[in-house]
Amino acid sequence: MGFLSTLRHLLTDHSHAERSEESLERFRNAWGLDDEAAVAGDSPADQVASEYDRTQWRRKLHHIFEKDPASDTEWPTLMREAKALNLDDAWVDAAMREEFTMMIRSLIADRRLSEDDQERLEAVRKRMEMTEEEAAGLVQSVVADARRFFGGDVVIEH
Protein backbone atom coordinates (compact mmCIF):
# COMPACT_ATOMS: atom_id res chain seq x y z
CA MET A 1 0.00 0.00 0.00
CA GLY A 2 3.02 2.31 0.27
CA PHE A 3 3.06 2.90 -3.50
CA LEU A 4 -0.63 3.77 -3.67
CA SER A 5 -0.32 6.14 -0.72
CA THR A 6 2.60 7.92 -2.38
CA LEU A 7 0.73 8.13 -5.68
CA ARG A 8 -2.37 9.52 -3.96
CA HIS A 9 -0.22 12.10 -2.18
CA LEU A 10 1.42 13.19 -5.44
CA LEU A 11 -1.91 13.47 -7.24
CA THR A 12 -3.56 15.49 -4.46
CA ASP A 13 -0.57 17.74 -3.74
CA HIS A 14 -1.30 21.03 -5.52
CA SER A 15 1.81 22.86 -4.33
CA HIS A 16 3.41 22.28 -7.73
CA ALA A 17 0.42 23.73 -9.62
CA GLU A 18 1.37 27.37 -9.01
CA ARG A 19 4.70 27.53 -10.83
CA SER A 20 6.15 30.80 -12.04
CA GLU A 21 6.81 31.53 -15.70
CA GLU A 22 10.51 31.48 -14.87
CA SER A 23 10.36 27.94 -13.50
CA LEU A 24 8.32 26.81 -16.51
CA GLU A 25 10.96 28.36 -18.79
CA ARG A 26 13.73 26.46 -16.97
CA PHE A 27 11.72 23.26 -17.31
CA ARG A 28 11.23 23.79 -21.07
CA ASN A 29 14.93 24.52 -21.53
CA ALA A 30 15.95 21.47 -19.52
CA TRP A 31 13.75 19.24 -21.67
CA GLY A 32 14.65 20.94 -24.95
CA LEU A 33 11.15 22.32 -25.50
CA ASP A 34 10.23 25.73 -26.77
CA ASP A 35 6.98 27.62 -26.19
CA GLU A 36 5.66 27.27 -29.74
CA ALA A 37 6.43 23.55 -30.00
CA ALA A 38 4.69 22.88 -26.70
CA VAL A 39 1.57 24.73 -27.82
CA ALA A 40 1.51 23.61 -31.48
CA GLY A 41 2.23 19.95 -30.72
CA ASP A 42 -0.76 19.65 -28.42
CA SER A 43 -3.33 19.77 -31.20
CA PRO A 44 -4.27 16.39 -32.70
CA ALA A 45 -4.81 18.15 -36.04
CA ASP A 46 -1.09 19.05 -36.08
CA GLN A 47 0.04 15.46 -35.65
CA VAL A 48 0.94 13.38 -38.68
CA ALA A 49 0.51 9.62 -38.79
CA SER A 50 3.69 7.65 -38.35
CA GLU A 51 4.89 5.14 -40.91
CA TYR A 52 3.82 2.40 -38.50
CA ASP A 53 0.27 3.81 -38.34
CA ARG A 54 0.11 4.00 -42.14
CA THR A 55 1.32 0.42 -42.47
CA GLN A 56 -1.20 -0.85 -39.94
CA TRP A 57 -4.01 1.05 -41.65
CA ARG A 58 -3.01 -0.47 -45.02
CA ARG A 59 -3.03 -3.94 -43.49
CA LYS A 60 -6.55 -3.39 -42.21
CA LEU A 61 -7.63 -2.14 -45.63
CA HIS A 62 -6.10 -5.20 -47.28
CA HIS A 63 -7.81 -7.46 -44.75
CA ILE A 64 -11.23 -5.94 -45.48
CA PHE A 65 -10.76 -6.26 -49.26
CA GLU A 66 -9.59 -9.84 -48.88
CA LYS A 67 -12.10 -10.98 -46.25
CA ASP A 68 -15.49 -9.53 -47.15
CA PRO A 69 -15.54 -6.25 -49.03
CA ALA A 70 -19.33 -6.03 -48.85
CA SER A 71 -19.34 -6.14 -45.04
CA ASP A 72 -20.78 -3.03 -43.41
CA THR A 73 -19.12 -3.61 -40.07
CA GLU A 74 -15.44 -2.79 -40.62
CA TRP A 75 -15.44 -0.13 -43.34
CA PRO A 76 -16.83 2.81 -41.30
CA THR A 77 -14.37 2.05 -38.51
CA LEU A 78 -11.48 2.02 -40.97
CA MET A 79 -12.52 5.39 -42.42
CA ARG A 80 -12.88 6.91 -38.93
CA GLU A 81 -9.43 5.60 -38.08
CA ALA A 82 -8.00 7.26 -41.21
CA LYS A 83 -9.45 10.59 -40.05
CA ALA A 84 -8.24 10.07 -36.48
CA LEU A 85 -4.72 9.36 -37.72
CA ASN A 86 -4.83 12.46 -39.93
CA LEU A 87 -4.10 10.39 -43.01
CA ASP A 88 -4.08 12.62 -46.05
CA ASP A 89 -7.13 12.07 -48.28
CA ALA A 90 -4.93 11.76 -51.37
CA TRP A 91 -2.80 9.13 -49.61
CA VAL A 92 -5.91 7.18 -48.54
CA ASP A 93 -7.29 7.30 -52.10
CA ALA A 94 -3.98 6.11 -53.55
CA ALA A 95 -3.75 3.31 -50.98
CA MET A 96 -7.28 2.16 -51.82
CA ARG A 97 -6.52 2.20 -55.58
CA GLU A 98 -3.34 0.16 -55.02
CA GLU A 99 -5.19 -2.39 -52.90
CA PHE A 100 -7.99 -2.55 -55.46
CA THR A 101 -5.43 -3.17 -58.22
CA MET A 102 -3.75 -5.89 -56.17
CA MET A 103 -7.15 -7.46 -55.54
CA ILE A 104 -7.81 -7.58 -59.29
CA ARG A 105 -4.42 -9.20 -59.87
CA SER A 106 -5.05 -11.86 -57.24
CA LEU A 107 -8.50 -12.61 -58.66
CA ILE A 108 -7.22 -13.13 -62.22
CA ALA A 109 -4.16 -15.12 -61.20
CA ASP A 110 -5.99 -18.25 -62.35
CA ARG A 111 -6.53 -16.60 -65.78
CA ARG A 112 -10.25 -16.11 -65.32
CA LEU A 113 -12.53 -13.61 -63.68
CA SER A 114 -15.66 -15.35 -62.42
CA GLU A 115 -19.01 -13.73 -61.73
CA ASP A 116 -18.32 -14.04 -57.99
CA ASP A 117 -15.00 -12.27 -58.49
CA GLN A 118 -16.76 -9.52 -60.40
CA GLU A 119 -19.28 -9.13 -57.57
CA ARG A 120 -16.44 -8.77 -55.06
CA LEU A 121 -14.81 -6.13 -57.24
CA GLU A 122 -18.11 -4.29 -57.55
CA ALA A 123 -18.57 -4.32 -53.77
CA VAL A 124 -15.10 -2.82 -53.30
CA ARG A 125 -15.68 -0.27 -56.05
CA LYS A 126 -18.81 0.94 -54.30
CA ARG A 127 -17.04 1.06 -50.92
CA MET A 128 -14.32 3.20 -52.43
CA GLU A 129 -16.88 5.37 -54.21
CA MET A 130 -14.96 4.80 -57.44
CA THR A 131 -16.76 5.42 -60.71
CA GLU A 132 -17.60 2.46 -62.91
CA GLU A 133 -15.38 3.91 -65.64
CA GLU A 134 -12.36 4.14 -63.33
CA ALA A 135 -12.85 0.60 -62.08
CA ALA A 136 -13.36 -0.76 -65.59
CA GLY A 137 -10.18 1.00 -66.71
CA LEU A 138 -8.18 -0.58 -63.88
CA VAL A 139 -9.62 -4.04 -64.61
CA GLN A 140 -8.86 -3.70 -68.33
CA SER A 141 -5.32 -2.55 -67.59
CA VAL A 142 -4.62 -5.44 -65.22
CA VAL A 143 -6.22 -7.96 -67.61
CA ALA A 144 -4.04 -6.63 -70.47
CA ASP A 145 -0.94 -7.03 -68.26
CA ALA A 146 -2.03 -10.57 -67.36
CA ARG A 147 -2.54 -11.48 -71.01
CA ARG A 148 0.97 -10.29 -71.83
CA PHE A 149 2.42 -12.08 -68.81
CA PHE A 150 0.61 -15.39 -69.36
CA GLY A 151 0.94 -15.23 -73.15
CA GLY A 152 -2.72 -16.11 -73.47
CA ASP A 153 -6.21 -14.98 -72.79
CA VAL A 154 -7.91 -14.20 -69.50
CA VAL A 155 -11.51 -15.39 -69.48
CA ILE A 156 -14.08 -12.97 -68.09
CA GLU A 157 -17.32 -14.80 -67.34
CA HIS A 158 -20.66 -13.14 -67.99
Confidence (pLDDT) at 137: 93
Q: At what angle do helices 51-67 and 89-107 cross, to 10 degrees?
A: 40
Selection from 95, 93, 94, 110 nearest residue 146 by Cα? 110
Give the predicted TM-score (pTM) of the model: 0.68
Ranges of the chain whose pLDDT falls below 70: 1, 7, 10-11, 13-19, 35-46
In whole angstroms, how large is the CA radius of gyration of the chain? 26
